[in-house]
Chains A and B, each alone.
Chain A
Amino acid sequence: MTVEEKRGIMGREGGPGENFPVGMRVLAVDDDPICLKVLETLLIRCQYNVTTTNQAIKALNMLRENRDRFDLVISDVHMPDMDGFKLLELVGLEMDLPVIMLSANGETKAVMKGITHGACDYLLKPVRIEELKNIWQHVVRRRKLDRKERRCLDNGEDCEKLQAANSEGTQATDANGPVNDNGKVNKKRKDQNDEDEDDYEEATHESEDPSNQKKPRVVWSVELHRKFVAAVNQLGVEKAVPKRILDIMNVDKLTRENVASHLQKYRLYLKRLSAVASQQANMAAALGGRDTSYLHMGSFNGFGNFHGLTPFQPSGVSNRTNPKLLGLPGLAPGMVQIGQTRNNTNIPMNDLSKFQHIAVPVNQHENLFQGIPTSLELDHLQQKQKGINELNNHLQGVFSGPSNSNLICTTNKSLLLQGHQQQTQLRGIGNQPPVAIRSTGVDRLEMSSVVSVHLPDLGKCSETWQNTPSLNAYGVNSLSTGVPYNDDSMISSNMGTSLTSTVAQLHGNPLNMSSNNLLVTTQDSLIRHDMQCQTSSLGGTTLLMSSGIADPKFLSFRSLGNVEQKSNDPKQQNALGPNIAFSSSCNSTLSNQTLLNNVAENQRLKNRIYNKKIDTIMINQPSFDTAFITQYAKTDKSHCDNRLTFCEDNMFGASKMQGDFVSNNCNFDDLMNSTIKPERDDIGFVVDGELGSDLFSLSTCL
């Protein structure tokens, strides 16, 4: 290995050489010595320079000490000291190197997870030499894209089109081609830039051939990123331009290009989160069926200072003081999506205060950070809507009990829940509710439908629920992963209920409230129907909205918790288990805002509530300490029929958000109060690493 290291060091630094891909410097990380040895030999056979290590930490250190030492990283997924996905994210964010994941597990979920975390490829063990012969394309592609991005961002153009165009990897693949093409492309871009540049002082820089230019890589440490995020927040994520960010950050040795490319990545990341959030929101909408018009971006604005990155301030939204619903940036986009998808439900976003978001980052691997990448969830949502409608019908009369007005479900969650088909975890929840809410196959949906069942008294809740959608925007993601929810639609109803409780008027039915809560988003049909059911104790569940990171499942989870069928007493209703609070704040700045933790301690939903213990673990986004908190929920079946198996062990520096609600014992009074009283600013976000309470799956709401 020493020899190889030396070879690696002696290799070129910076751009590709003439013999590329020969001599490409690869770092291989795998805890299995056999695979590592075989991989190493194969790579040597492909004429790459290989460095190997069996520990992820060592690999990171190697990468950090000299960013230009490697061109590509290949990493195993399952490693004892650090999760492969986490390593992947860290490398991607800090060093901007292409990372290839390697695993024996080829299931679609796992692959999807890899891709959403930013892997540029996912290989299955056993690795074949033919596959390894082609991995150099990722290096080339990234280089090209980086250059284009930087130029674009500097110009303030929207480089995404460019990216989209390039993302298919259509660059010339012959070894010498890339260099030339880059040169040509760069020149072209320069010309275009020159034509419409406004303050593009550095045009002269770009005129040099970028492929020959060696730019020392900037390491985006946590501190640096925090500053960056703060600057972006200050400017507004949509309006942030690299130059201004740079000025605000006031860090020397940082060039605009660095900032520009980092900004690009950051935006993509937010998009991803919001996609997840929107899914959740869709789920919620499905449950609630309210008009999700508010979901539009405009509604975000209505929420006060909500804008991309800043925490969601419900101020505009509701008269009630809303606890800091996290205005997760991710939500915004999600919200928009929600709005688009459907909705008949009007979930007034106003009463955010009433909403307590349940951010249940159940997701095992997916910390909120990942979110659900696609907006195909929206499509799913639509499907679900139909299903939800059916479910709603079923739900009528099924649920009874006090509705929990406190239930604030982040719409995102519901949406995400609904939308996200991949979130099979929600399935587990779905099974729970007795009401046969059949979602159209999305697990999440089920959650929403379930939620809707327990709607708190409409009277109280109606307005508040409306707000939830906004909250839902936050990555309900938390729920998305890992929890295997059964396919019953119950989950959706649960979601709905939780959400609905916060939703003010659901169609005038008392049940509407419940439906609102989760759904906030688009699905009003569900909610409406749900409304008809008696709103039950949605009460206790407080949803934690995490800024974009909340696992949708969690959200729904929470909402389930809120749905308590039996009593009108809000306290009781929150038998819905644990509040899974996740707040994933995109930025460090979000820490205060973010979590709406829904610590649904009301566990133990007597009837059919899934009582699963959900231990939520806050998972922080790897690079930002406070930023992302994802909870990892472990469920242990206690009362529920459904099995929620959250098996994820995602632990990235968990940070706990302290909120009013402490897990396990839902403070229903507080919940109720919080939702009702606008003055309350802090709706307890309690994010505990260990919810410990019997978290029931969402389906238990019923």
Chain B
Amino acid sequence: MASIPGPDACPPTVRLNYPTAKLSLFLLLSLSSGPHYLIKKDRERKHRKPASKTGLPVWMLGMGAGRWEEDMSHLLALLFRQGVLDEHFMQLQQLQDESSPNFVLEVISIYFRESEKLLRNIRTLLLDRECTDYRKIGVYLNHLMGSSSSIGANLVRNVCVAFRAASEHCNWAGCLRSLAVLEHEYCYLKNKLHELFQIEQQRVLAAGVRYHPLLQ
């Protein structure tokens, strides 16, 4: 899987719920067929089933992938409810198939890259109150709107619309405010999408574990 760009530009507002590091360590240990060492969380206790022949907890045998999927759908539902994402994101996901397995990831990565560039440019344009080129801001905004709406980033797009109105009225203060909101929303989106990708990674990992020869 391609590496996901970390949320470097945004303040770290997200705390991962899953101890991914611990998990990978655990996997490693288990697969090396050493003494199994379970990191038990309360949640896991609930789901603990009798160990299989290999001694690994059942949830490690690929059925844990369900959990990741559950988490993913929870997160997605939340984002949809909040209006951060809309149905175009679903369309994007549907476009991912065997012929383009990492489609969503690639597109989102490009989106992050481009958007950050645009946001930086806009901020630069707004530095000088006297000679702000509102038209250019409008052009950048248009660009951002187009790409955000293409991937389903609904909230970011709506903020862009408001921003555009401010720029059309050549309202410098309004533009600054809008830019602040835009950057905030963009960061939130980025963090959530990162989270989503990480869940997806875990899910794939967990699903893959099931087919590990050592576990058969």
* B91 in complex: contacting residue of A35, A125, A128, CB < 8 Å: A128
- A42 neighbours in B (Cβ, 8 Å): 91, 95
What is the bound-complex CA distance between A42 and B147, given in angstroms?
15
Pairwise interchain contact A35-B147, C-beta atoms closer than 8 A = yes
Is A177 at the interface (CB under 8 A from chain B)? no
What is the bound-complex CA distance between A647 and B139, given in angstroms?
12
7 residue pairs of the A-B complex, CB under 8 angstroms, read A32-B114, A32-B150, A34-B151, A42-B95, A45-B95, A104-B146, A126-B149
- B114 neighbours in A (Cβ, 8 Å): 32-34
Known contacts A41-B95, A41-B103, A104-B145, A35 near B139 by CB under 8 Å: no
Stretch with Cβ within 8 A of A (4 or more), from B18-26, B65-73, B104-112, B193-201: B104-112
What is the bound-complex CA distance between A127 and B152, given in angstroms?
11
Is A66 at the interface (CB under 8 A from chain B)? no
* B150 in complex: contacting residue of A45, A105, A127, A647, CB < 8 Å: A127
* B142 in complex: contacting residue of A33, A104, A127, CB < 8 Å: A104
List residues 100-125 of chain B with CB under 8 A from any CB of chain A.
Answer: 100, 103, 106-107, 110-111, 114
List residues 25-39 of chain A with CB under 8 A from any CB of chain B.
Answer: 32-35, 37-39
Contact with A along B49-69 (1 / 0, CB 8 A): 000000000000000000000
Question: Least Cβ distance of A545 to chain B in Å?
Answer: 29
- B151 neighbours in A (Cβ, 8 Å): 34, 38, 126
What is the bound-complex CA distance between A45 and B91, given in angstroms?
11
Is A78 at the interface (CB under 8 A from chain B)? yes
What is the bound-complex CA distance between A127 and B139, given in angstroms?
19
What is the bound-complex CA distance between A76 and B150, given in angstroms?
13
Which residue of the partner chain B has the closest CB to A102? B146
What is the bound-complex CA distance between A128 and B88, given in angstroms?
8
What is the bound-complex CA distance between A479 and B111, given in angstroms?
38
Which residue of the partner chain A has the closest CB to B95? A41
- A35 neighbours in B (Cβ, 8 Å): 146-147, 150
Which residue of the partner chain B has the closest CB to A78? B142
Which residue of the partner chain A has the closest CB to B97? A45
Which residue of the partner chain B has the closest CB to A647? B135
Partner-A contacts on B (CB < 8 A): 88, 91-92, 95, 100, 103, 106-107, 110-111, 114, 135, 139, 142-143, 145-147, 149-152
10 pairs of A and B residues whose beta carbons are closest in the complex: A104-B146, A126-B149, A34-B147, A125-B146, A104-B145, A126-B150, A38-B150, A41-B95, A126-B88, A35-B150
- B91 neighbours in A (Cβ, 8 Å): 42, 128-129
Contact with B along A27-68 (1 / 0, CB 8 A): 000001111011101100100000000000000000000000
What is the bound-complex CA distance between A68 and B107, given in angstroms?
31
In the complex, which of the residues B106, B149, B152 has the most CB atoms of chain A within 10 Å of its own CB atom? Answer: B149
Question: Least Cβ distance of B159 to chain A in Å?
Answer: 14
- B111 neighbours in A (Cβ, 8 Å): 34
Known contacts A32-B143, A38-B92, A126 near B152 by CB under 8 Å: yes
- B107 neighbours in A (Cβ, 8 Å): 34, 37-38
Pairwise interchain contact A34-B142, C-beta atoms closer than 8 A = no
- A34 neighbours in B (Cβ, 8 Å): 107, 110-111, 114, 147, 150-151
Question: Least Cβ distance of A445 to chain B in Å?
Answer: 24
Question: Least Cβ distance of B46 to chain A in Å?
Answer: 41
What is the bound-complex CA distance between A127 and B100, given in angstroms?
19
- B147 neighbours in A (Cβ, 8 Å): 32, 34-35
Which residue of the partner chain B has the closest CB to A104? B146
Question: Least Cβ distance of B54 to chain A in Å?
Answer: 41
What is the bound-complex CA distance between A37 and B111, given in angstroms?
11
What is the bound-complex CA distance between A128 and B106, given in angstroms?
19
List residues 3-38 of chain A with CB under 8 A from any CB of chain B.
Answer: 32-35, 37-38
List residues 605-632 of chain A with CB under 8 A from any CB of chain B.
Answer: none
- A647 neighbours in B (Cβ, 8 Å): 135
Question: Least Cβ distance of B81 to chain A in Å?
Answer: 20
What is the bound-complex CA distance between A63 and B135, given in angstroms?
31
Which residue of the partner chain A has the closest CB to B100? A41
Question: Least Cβ distance of A127 to chain B in Å?
Answer: 7
Question: Least Cβ distance of B103 to chain A in Å?
Answer: 7
What is the bound-complex CA distance between A42 and B92, given in angstroms?
9
Pairwise interchain contact B142-A105, C-beta atoms closer than 8 A = yes
What is the bound-complex CA distance between A481 and B68, given in angstroms?
55
Q: Contacts A32-B150, A37-B107, A129-B91 known; list 13 others, CB within 8 Å.
A: A32-B146, A34-B110, A34-B111, A34-B114, A34-B150, A37-B106, A37-B110, A76-B146, A103-B146, A104-B142, A104-B145, A104-B146, A128-B88
What is the bound-complex CA distance between A39 and B139, given in angstroms?
21
- A78 neighbours in B (Cβ, 8 Å): 139, 142-143
What is the bound-complex CA distance between A39 and B135, given in angstroms?
27
Known contacts A37-B107, A37-B110, A125 near B150 by CB under 8 Å: yes
What is the bound-complex CA distance between A33 and B106, given in angstroms?
11
Question: Least Cβ distance of B216 to chain A in Å?
Answer: 37
Pairwise interchain contact A104-B110, C-beta atoms closer than 8 A = no
- A127 neighbours in B (Cβ, 8 Å): 150
What is the bound-complex CA distance between A647 and B151, given in angstroms?
30
What is the bound-complex CA distance between A103 and B142, given in angstroms?
9
Pairwise interchain contact B149-A104, C-beta atoms closer than 8 A = yes
What is the bound-complex CA distance between A34 and B110, given in angstroms?
6
What is the bound-complex CA distance between A430 and B64, given in angstroms?
70
What is the bound-complex CA distance between A125 and B142, given in angstroms?
10
- B143 neighbours in A (Cβ, 8 Å): 32, 78, 104
What is the bound-complex CA distance between A76 and B142, given in angstroms?
12
Which residue of the partner chain B has the closest CB to A125? B146
- B95 neighbours in A (Cβ, 8 Å): 38, 41-42, 45
What is the bound-complex CA distance between A32 and B92, given in angstroms?
16
What is the bound-complex CA distance between A105 and B161, given in angstroms?
10
What is the bound-complex CA distance between A104 and B118, given in angstroms?
16
In the complex, which of the residues B95, B110, B142, B146 has the most CB atoms of chain A within 10 Å of its own CB atom? Answer: B146
What is the bound-complex CA distance between A384 and B175, given in angstroms?
37
- B152 neighbours in A (Cβ, 8 Å): 126
Question: Least Cβ distance of A40 to chain B in Å?
Answer: 10
- B146 neighbours in A (Cβ, 8 Å): 32, 35, 76, 103-104, 125-126
- A37 neighbours in B (Cβ, 8 Å): 106-107, 110
Contact with B along A103-130 (1 / 0, CB 8 A): 1110000000000000000000111110
What is the bound-complex CA distance between A76 and B145, given in angstroms?
13
What is the bound-complex CA distance between A624 and B100, given in angstroms?
44
List residues 70-128 of chain A with CB under 8 A from any CB of chain B.
Answer: 76, 78, 103-105, 125-128
- A104 neighbours in B (Cβ, 8 Å): 142-143, 145-146, 149
Question: Least Cβ distance of B154 to chain A in Å?
Answer: 10
What is the bound-complex CA distance between A6 and B151, given in angstroms?
28
- A103 neighbours in B (Cβ, 8 Å): 146
What is the bound-complex CA distance between A35 and B143, given in angstroms?
10
What is the bound-complex CA distance between A37 and B91, given in angstroms?
13
What is the bound-complex CA distance between A129 and B88, given in angstroms?
10
Which residue of the partner chain A has the closest CB to B154? A126
What is the bound-complex CA distance between A33 and B151, given in angstroms?
12
